[in-house]
Structure 1
Amino acid sequence: MVNYYSAMLNLSGKKAVVIGGGAVAARKILTLLEADAEVTVISPELHESIREVFLAKKIIWKQKRFEPDDLQDFFLIIAATNQSAINVQVYESANSQQLINLVDRPDLSNFIVPASLRRGALTISVSTSGASPGLARKIKQDLAKEYDEVYEEYLLFLEQSRKRVIEEVADSTIRRQMLQGLLEPQFLELTRQANYKEREARLLQLLTGGIAP
């Protein structure tokens, strides 16, 4: 089994191409767009779920069959057709400097895509290194119950509060203690209750001398 190196890629403005236009390809296209990649799709057909994306000019669709010359100038390649032979042809046409993923052949890919849960700036990724994608999806579903949509607002609060602590507290030891204090359960619970007034009061209390029990 391959020992993968975990990383987060900055694809903003990077050219990515998806070979295939079915349901699997559609999911890949949407996640690439979420990462602000410049996405080109090569496929005779386009899944209905992303036709609106194409009509909104968020992707380039080349309505054609794959040809080896199609891969020039792309930073990242995803082969997501339902024909393994074509996916392998995509692999054989890529150069060693390109990132490539074959949805049905992790052994030929130089990167794989984990199951990811997103809550605003929070990303939790789960991978079984290709051994069982189904298990990775199940773990993601389990995590989604614990880390629900409230975490998006909660993380915004933590980000803004962290900036205030850094700006207002000069002593590094006290600053570290306050940053740890921000992770006390009460702030998450107040966010869950949408009790922002009380949350702000508790934050001010922390900044001026600590958290009340």
Structure 2
Amino acid sequence: MTYYPLFLDLTDRPCAVIGGGKVAERKVLSLLDAGADVTVISPKLSSTLAGLAAKRTVKLTHLKERFKAGMLEGFFLVVSASSSKAVNALVSKEGRKFGAIVNVADAPELCDFIVPSLVKRGELSIAVSTSAKCPGLAKELRLELEENYGPEYGEYVEILGAIRNKLLKDKRKYDNKERLLHELFVSGIPELLRSGSISELDKLLISILGRGYSLASLGAGIKE
């Protein structure tokens, strides 16, 4: 199977998760983190999911019943995390009937998409997949990446994003944009962020880009 890699904007999209255990919990949390409007269909919920469902500030609805045909109309994305193979097969069939994209835990043959192992650092996302051949390997690679790419990379991306936006509007530097960004990529910014050397980082940015590119000018909000 060859998969097309992509990132979906799920903001306010109606998504359904069938199941209320630990696997379903992980799926729900990741969907909520993406801004989805989540409905969980299950007679019971894990304590974490039950707590979330009780909060009015969280876009999570609990349908306290067993899954049956006809429940998936109107959903954009459906995830089945049931312990029952029969339920998972029915969810896959029903989701596709209503035009939803479907993921079934540990059953790639029933899926329209699979979920990669993910390293998330602010706006930086690094996804690893073995196309469902060996999820354990994807997890091991993710753990390695987590060691190499710490939380400072979230700040790094914010700084680079602010710089790129300013370069796009700076006619004097626009033609050299790619060269300047490459200089930043190899200049050791993550190491300075990791060590908290913010004043040194400011000097570095100004030396490469000029005085209009200090952290304060960029509005990056990085503090020592």
C-alpha separation between the residues in 1 aligned to 2:139 and 2:42? 27
* Shift in Å, 1:52: 2.0
SS in 2 for 1:41: strand
C-alpha separation between the residues in 2 aligned to 1:74 and 1:30? 17
C-alpha root-mean-square deviation of aligned residues, in Å?
1.5
- 1:165 alignment partner, one of 167, 171, 189: 167
Structure 1, gaps ≥5 residues long: none
Query: Which residue in 2 is equivalent to 1:119?
Result: 121
Name the aligned partner's letter for residue 76 of structure 2. F
User: Is the 1:169–1:175 contact (alpha carbons within 8 Å) kept by the matching residues of 2?
Assistant: no
TM-score, normalised relative to structure 1: 0.92
User: Is the 2:96–2:102 contact (alpha carbons within 8 Å) kept by the matching residues of 1?
Assistant: no
Structure 2 matches for 1:172-187, cutoff 5 A?
172-187=174-189
SS in 1 for 2:179: helix
* Shift in Å, 1:156: 1.3
C-alpha separation between the residues in 2 aligned to 1:3 and 1:77? 21
SS in 1 for 2:190: helix
User: Is the 2:167–2:173 contact (alpha carbons within 8 Å) kept by the matching residues of 1?
Assistant: no
Query: Which residue in 1 is equivalent to 2:210?
Result: 208
Query: Which residue in 2 is equivalent to 1:75?
Result: 76
The C-alpha deviation readout for 1:56-110, integer Å capped at 9, x for no partner, is 1320000110011110100000010111111111112223521001113111111
SS in 2 for 1:9: coil
Query: Which residue in 2 is equivalent to 1:154?
Result: 156
2:5 matched to 1:3? Answer: no
C-alpha separation between the residues in 1 aligned to 2:119 and 2:210? 36
C-alpha separation between the residues in 1 aligned to 2:82 and 2:115? 16
Deviates more, 1:6-15 or 1:167-176: 167-176
* Shift in Å, 1:173: 3.4
SS in 2 for 1:71: coil
Query: Which residue in 1 is equivalent to 2:198?
Result: 196
Query: Which residue in 1 is equivalent to 2:53?
Result: 54
Query: Which residue in 1 is equivalent to 2:216?
Result: none
Identity %: 34
C-alpha separation between the residues in 2 aligned to 1:156 and 1:33? 22
The C-alpha deviation readout for 1:10-35, integer Å capped at 9, x for no partner, is 11111000000000000000000011
Query: Which residue in 2 is equivalent to 1:38?
Result: 37
User: Is the 1:178–1:207 contact (alpha carbons within 8 Å) kept by the matching residues of 2?
Assistant: yes
User: Is the 2:167–2:174 contact (alpha carbons within 8 Å) kept by the matching residues of 1?
Assistant: no
C-alpha separation between the residues in 2 aligned to 1:163 and 1:93? 44
C-alpha separation between the residues in 1 aligned to 2:94 and 2:210? 62
Name the aligned partner's letter for residue 90 of structure 1. V
Deviates more, 1:122-131 or 1:95-104: 95-104
Name the aligned partner's letter for residue 164 of structure 2. R
Quickly say closer, same or farther: Cα 1:26–1:163, change in 2 above 3 A: same
2:16 matched to 1:20? Answer: no
* Shift in Å, 1:189: 1.6
Name the aligned partner's letter for residue 207 of structure 2. Q
Name the aligned partner's letter for residue 87 of structure 1. N
TM-score, normalised relative to structure 2: 0.88
Structure 2 matches for 1:61-140, cutoff 5 A?
61-96=62-97, 97-140=99-142
* Shift in Å, 1:171: 4.5
